[in-house]
Amino acid sequence: MARYKLTLEYDGTGLVGWQRQANGPSVQAALEDAIEAFSGEAATTTAAGRTDAGVHALGQVAHFDLARLRPADTVSDALNAHLRPRPIAVVAAEAVNDDFHARFMATERHYRYRIVNRRGPLTLDRDRAWQVARPLDEAAMQAGADLLVGHHDFTSFRAAECQAASPVKTLDQLRVTRAGDEITIGARARSFLHHQVRNMVGSLVLVGEGKWPPERIASALGARDRTAAGPTAPAKGLYLMSVAYETG
């Protein structure tokens, strides 16, 4: 048996997310179909994170097994040939030990959320960022974000359908930056709850608009109640940037 680690990039627009589903095209289904088309084997792929419908990725990681070893370049080239014209690409492939697990061995996941803060409608970024027309104060948003960093019970920022065993997570970084009209919010942690990043972003936008003082983020966090936090930001602004693993 040979195990492969893939790094994937995809545009989530029009996809139902990572996980294979009956109601539309998914990344997992497209990838597994491509594996079978080139190898003749029915393989199961496992991802570092199950991105939702509309969420994008620049550095999703997945693994799968084949019966025999093939050169990594052959695997990536063959998969990309069979993935076309879907908006999914293998950007790197490598053979790994058979105990490698894309999900359970990940030590950090890095997400980025893009907001375009302008009145004019989006054209090129229409499905790739959240447009917020009301002026945003990124310094106030950062002050609120700082209150979320650390080891907390994130029940207030957890989706109702989240299947995680515990709402307690350690958020290592939540950084708000602006470049012109674009505000990006970068989040780093070993793992996240379902919709955690999008729910945090929705609350921080309320702070940026002046509807909430930054201190209300701490109150929402302490309430341990989803209704105490802000709305869920749209999926189209969220990107899985990278997944880290221990080396050596």
Answer yes or no: are the C-beta atoms of 228 and 120 closer than 8 Å.
no
**How many angstroms separate the CA atoms of 98 and 2, rounded?**
7
Give, in order, the Cα–Cα distances in Å from 156 to each of 42, 70, 160, 199, 236: 40, 47, 10, 8, 22
Q: How many CB atoms lie within 10 A of CB 7?
A: 21
Of the candidates 38, 17, 37, 35, the one whose C-alpha atom is nearest the C-alpha of residue 26 is 17
On the question of a cis peptide bond just before residue 85, with omega within 30 degrees of 0, the verdict is: yes
Helix residue spans in 40-137 (DSSP H): 72-83
Helix residue spans in the chain (DSSP H): 27-39, 72-83, 138-146, 196-208, 215-223
Q: How many residues does the chain have?
A: 248
- Helix, strand or coil, per DSSP, at residue 184: strand
Active-site annotation, residues: 52
Give, in order, the Cα–Cα distances in Å from 226 to each of 166, 185, 203, 218: 15, 21, 11, 13
